[in-house]
Amino acid sequence: MRWPLFVIALIIGFILWDRFENDGTYTAEIERSFHEASLDMPGGWKPPVITFNRDMLKH
């Protein structure tokens, strides 16, 4: 149980350090990298859409 908590603490520490000391430089680069990788995927990138199934709302 200690290792997962240690890893989570490291990740949170990195995010806080990046946010306050580097103005989010590293996390912005990671987000850009994920976005570019999603563009290379077969479906491309599509914005998330929330839909409701109206049949389930009828009772």
**What pLDDT sits at residue 45?**
65
Nearest to 18 by CA among 27, 8, 9, 10: 27
**Statement: the pTM of the whole predicted model exceeds 0.85:** no
- Per run of 10 residues, the mean pLDDT along the chain (length 59 residues) is 93 91 88 83 73 67
Distances (CA, A) of 20 to 9, 30, 39: 16, 17, 30
Nearest to 12 by CA among 27, 1, 30, 23: 27
**What pLDDT sits at residue 5?**
95
